[in-house]
Chain A
Amino acid sequence: MSDQPQFTVKIDQNKYLPEGGREVHAIVSVESAGGVAAAAPAAQAAEVIIIDTSGSMTYPDTKLRAAIAAAQTAVDTLRDGVMFAVVSGSNSAKMVFPQQAALVPANERNRAAAKAALKRLTAQGGTAIGSWLRLADQLFDPYQAGVRHAILLTDGKNQHESPEELQAVLARCAGRFVCDCRGVGTDWEVAELRKVANALLGTVDIVADPADLVADFRAMTQAAMGKAVADVALRVWTPQTARLKFVKQVMPNVQDLSAMRAETAPQAGDYPLGAWGAESRDYQICVEVPPGEVGKELRAAWVKLVVPGGPGQEAQVLATGNVLAQWTDDEALSTKINARVAHYTGQSELADVIQEGLAARRDGDLDTATARLGRAVKLADEAGNEAVTAALRKVVDVLDPATGTVRLKANVEKADEMSLDTTSTKTVRTRKDETVRTRRSEV
């Protein structure tokens, strides 16, 4: 058995378009199985843990204590031999362990030393997330061939550098490592941290109760240790005359990848997917094609899962799939909407209306907030997204989920509002998919 997982690509769509139809939607399901984690993955791995040590972390002091405990758990979860470091962040970034700006291999002695160094952490100063990421990038630099993962914990807004500075760092770091972001407490900004997580292909979440940090850090580190392929990309070819409207990840969470396209060949571009373990993710793509004659079939997109080679190297193709378009004058065919396309289209909209609804609520535009969050209740109900439904019910009183009739709650905990925001992009599969999820097929 090879160490590389077996990848499969599956396309769900209704290829039939009416006469004059132009827009082709498809769900691309990417799944990997085998070759991972059971034994130690062969892939080299590097991990950087970034802990916010701005002054606010001591208000209350439980935040810093919990962050230290969580980081210590993460260190314990590292596999032997994984290259790692711990960084503390305030107005600038400092090495916690090791002292020099470099990664060291995880072993008993280094883990103990790292945990001891964490224990000595104190909090003071401001928040400049970009500077923290810059140091992480420097640490990861020699390890670009392996899996590269960072955990970033913060409790505040990015106040001590400009948004432009942060943006520049994100542009620099994109594709260089994956970063999962966590906000502790309620003084940080979901939109800001989401931007960081999206740019670095990671997740964003709120850990409202510092006591939950330990479990969360353990889970993130375990997931990172399960990655077997460092850099995977979705290579999408489209016809000369077509336009790729968007490429989004829609499972496990909604994330628009369109802006991350890297041109790789005439008519083809790569969308980075980060590192992969034994897991499955779904993507939605939308292509606009010139209308064709009835009966004509087109390959509207040719999707390849690739490991892009270095400069001058051939990309390794792991799996491929065709997104098709065929024009028909049979309305029974062209009006059918693929169930998975509909499902994920609904959940993308769900994320949008929640974020719009919360923004309107913050701005005092209660009518818009009520309308958007009402729509969200309806969509979440249709999709069977219980996590989002539960989060919504802490912000609105639901009068009728089927029509999306809601009333804004008068008093909403800040943490509940932020939870709804971070949950908004988390998607579920269609119910009937449940059996599909466990199916494993060879390429």
Chain B
Amino acid sequence: MNGNGNGDMNGEGNDTAVEANESAANGPAAGDGAGGAGEANAGGTGARREQGAVKPAELACPQCGVVVYPGEAFCENCGRQLIAGRPGSGAPRPSGRTRCVGCGEAAVDGEGYCEHCGMKQPADRDHLEVELVTPGGPVAGVSDRGKRYARNEDAFAIAPHTTGVAAVVCDGVGSSPRPETASRAAADTAAAEIATALGAGAAPGDAVRAAVRKAAEAVAGLADSPEASPSCTFVAAVTGPDGVTVGWVGDSRAYWLSESDTSPSAALRDTGELDSSQVTADLKGDPNATTPDAETLPLGPSRRLTDDDSWAAFMVASGALTEAEAEAHPNAHVITAWMGADAGEVRPHVRGFVPDRPGTLLVCSDGLWNYFPGAGDLAAVLRNAQADPAADPTGAARILVRHALDAGGRDNITVAVLPMAAAPRTEQDR
């Protein structure tokens, strides 16, 4: 079933694959020499920024080519949507014709039915796919209603900035009213704010914090009363020459999947996922510290980048339950932090990372990670399906969503796939 879709996706992705492979080819070389690149971060963001050999290019509208400001939702010249992820007006895949999500034939008619197999194409938020070209290559997001819910309460937004891209995934809290409005508002607000702040010269961590603040305000503003406040989780990931910055509230997650773990030739390789408690320990001093960019961590093998604000995570962290016990508990999905009028002040966790090798940044809702909790699980899905995220991020995102659906699809599923070459300048810093 997937085979069809995949083959097509790969075919379509060929144009971008060339670019992506070229940059990826430089990656391993840089990565090889950077066995212990982690320490190189001592120089900090500022130093690297000054050293940046290339002045970031200005951001241009992919449709008309006019220079646009990061964070703008639409091109002022041609009206093209610049932040992708809104249903309906979402930027279509650049490669054109609509293919049936069921049989893969390019036969979808104006009413949204496939003229080959008859399948109704998922409408708007039911199934949304976007792919956009960023300075670092193509990135993609796919969101699906899943099998059990009547609507998709997840939302995502992807905004390019001058040196990379910001992706935000939000998951509406099911017990709150109109959760789909909360996730939508949070994702849109945050993606635009991150790109705007970065365009104005802010450090990525500060941009994420400012975005969380604004998104939380936007979500709180949706409430009719504190008792009836639409709510959502939040996770943002920002790529750039400085590496990766993630920020989150709740149990939506970001992962790093190293290319060596996702490429088919790496079969049976141990993904060597880091013990997340070790990472937490690194930042334990103050997870909401104002200067975590100075504490960027090296990013090598595949691993999870976020720690859930959830009952389950708390119980595991406090040693009360094992991870398996916590996951199986009815409270497993109770979150301990969220955005909403009843959430009080929202303080995100923010972390910075510098990849020492090429890989893929994955940003997702629990509809995906419920079935594939470990970075190794996610990498294996892509590897076994012979996905190539760098060449075809939409294809990779589809495969992940497909597997979550096949595994039961009990929740909405959203995943953003942001392929990255290795951060090249970490060496020069040395």
A binds B: yes
Tell whether, in the assembled complex, residue A241 and residue B117 are in contact, meaning their CB atoms are under 8 Å apart.
yes
Tell whether, in the assembled complex, residue A298 and residue B147 are in contact, meaning their CB atoms are under 8 Å apart.
no
B145 within 8 A of A: yes
Contact of B117 among A240, A293, A294 (CB under 8 A): A240
Complex: chain A residue closest to B146, CB-CB: A295
Q: What residues on B are CB-neighbors of A188 within 8 Å?
A: none
Tell whether, in the assembled complex, residue B147 and residue A295 are in contact, meaning their CB atoms are under 8 Å apart.
yes
A242 within 8 A of B: yes
Give the 6 A-B residue pairs with the shortest CB-CB distance, closest first: A239-B118, A297-B120, A299-B113, A299-B118, A298-B118, A295-B147
How far is B110's CA from A322's CA once the two chains are assembled, in angstroms? 13
Tell whether, in the assembled complex, residue B120 and residue A294 are in contact, meaning their CB atoms are under 8 Å apart.
no
Q: What residues on A are CB-neighbors of B148 within 8 Å?
A: 294-295
How far is B102's CA from A322's CA once the two chains are assembled, in angstroms? 18
Tell whether, in the assembled complex, residue B147 and residue A242 are in contact, meaning their CB atoms are under 8 Å apart.
no
B270 within 8 A of A: no
Tell whether, in the assembled complex, residue B145 and residue A295 are in contact, meaning their CB atoms are under 8 Å apart.
yes
A143 within 8 A of B: no
Q: Which of A285-337 contact B (CB under 8 A)?
A: 289, 292-300, 302, 322, 324, 326
B286 within 8 A of A: no
B116 within 8 A of A: yes
Taken residue by residue from 228 to 252, chain A's Cβ proximity to chain B (1 for < 8 Å, 0 otherwise) reads as 0000000001111110000000000
Tell whether, in the assembled complex, residue B147 and residue A294 are in contact, meaning their CB atoms are under 8 Å apart.
yes
Tell whether, in the assembled complex, residue B116 and residue A240 are in contact, meaning their CB atoms are under 8 Å apart.
yes
Contact of A322 among B111, B114, B145, B405 (CB under 8 A): B111
Tell whether, in the assembled complex, residue B119 and residue A298 are in contact, meaning their CB atoms are under 8 Å apart.
yes
Q: What residues on A are CB-neighbors of B118 within 8 Å?
A: 238-240, 242, 289, 298-300, 302
Contact of A302 among B113, B119, B146, B405 (CB under 8 A): B113
Residue count of chain A within 8 Å CB distance of chain B:
21
How far is B154's CA from A350's CA once the two chains are assembled, in angstroms? 52
Complex: chain A residue closest to B119, CB-CB: A298
How far is B111's CA from A322's CA once the two chains are assembled, in angstroms? 10
* Cβ distance B281 to chain A, nearest Cβ, rounded Å: 43
Q: Is the interface of B mostly helix, strand, loop or mixed?
A: loop
Tell whether, in the assembled complex, residue B145 and residue A299 are in contact, meaning their CB atoms are under 8 Å apart.
no
Tell whether, in the assembled complex, residue B147 and residue A297 are in contact, meaning their CB atoms are under 8 Å apart.
no
Taken residue by residue from 212 to 242, chain A's Cβ proximity to chain B (1 for < 8 Å, 0 otherwise) reads as 0000000000000000000000000111111
How far is B147's CA from A299's CA once the two chains are assembled, in angstroms? 18
Q: How large is the interface on B (under 10, 10 to 19, 20 to 34, 35 or more residues)?
A: 10 to 19
Interface on B for A, CB 8 Å cutoff? 102-103, 111, 113-120, 145-148, 405, 409
How far is B114's CA from A239's CA once the two chains are assembled, in angstroms? 8
How far is B105's CA from A240's CA once the two chains are assembled, in angstroms? 11
* Cβ distance A58 to chain B, nearest Cβ, rounded Å: 60
* Cβ distance A165 to chain B, nearest Cβ, rounded Å: 43
Tell whether, in the assembled complex, residue A239 and residue B116 are in contact, meaning their CB atoms are under 8 Å apart.
yes
Q: Which of A236-278 contact B (CB under 8 A)?
A: 237-242, 267
Contact of B119 among A267, A297, A322 (CB under 8 A): A297
How far is B102's CA from A295's CA once the two chains are assembled, in angstroms? 13
Q: What residues on A are CB-neighbors of B116 within 8 Å?
A: 239-240, 267
Tell whether, in the assembled complex, residue A296 and residue B111 are in contact, meaning their CB atoms are under 8 Å apart.
no
How far is B116's CA from A239's CA once the two chains are assembled, in angstroms? 6
Q: What residues on B are CB-neighbors of A240 within 8 Å?
A: 103, 116-118
Contacts beyond the supplied A241-B117, A267-B116: 4 A-B pairs with Cβ under 8 Å: A240-B118, A289-B118, A297-B120, A298-B119
* Cβ distance B410 to chain A, nearest Cβ, rounded Å: 11
How far is B107's CA from A267's CA once the two chains are assembled, in angstroms? 13
Q: What residues on B are CB-neighbors of A302 within 8 Å?
A: 113, 118
Listed by A's residue number, 12 A-B pairs whose Cβ atoms lie within 8 Å are A239-B116, A239-B119, A241-B117, A293-B147, A295-B147, A296-B102, A297-B119, A298-B118, A298-B120, A299-B120, A302-B113, A302-B118
Tell whether, in the assembled complex, residue B120 and residue A239 are in contact, meaning their CB atoms are under 8 Å apart.
no
How far is B409's CA from A241's CA once the two chains are assembled, in angstroms? 24
Q: What residues on B are CB-neighbors of A299 within 8 Å?
A: 111, 113-114, 118-120
Q: What residues on B are CB-neighbors of A292 within 8 Å?
A: 119
Tell whether, in the assembled complex, residue A239 and residue B147 are in contact, meaning their CB atoms are under 8 Å apart.
no
Q: What residues on B are CB-neighbors of A295 within 8 Å?
A: 145-148, 409
Q: What residues on A are CB-neighbors of B147 within 8 Å?
A: 293-295
Complex: chain B residue closest to A268, CB-CB: B115
Taken residue by residue from 429 to 442, chain A's Cβ proximity to chain B (1 for < 8 Å, 0 otherwise) reads as 00000000000000
How far is B103's CA from A294's CA once the two chains are assembled, in angstroms? 17
Tell whether, in the assembled complex, residue B113 and residue A322 are in contact, meaning their CB atoms are under 8 Å apart.
yes
Tell whether, in the assembled complex, residue B119 and residue A296 are in contact, meaning their CB atoms are under 8 Å apart.
yes
How far is B409's CA from A249's CA once the two chains are assembled, in angstroms? 41
How far is B119's CA from A300's CA once the two chains are assembled, in angstroms? 8
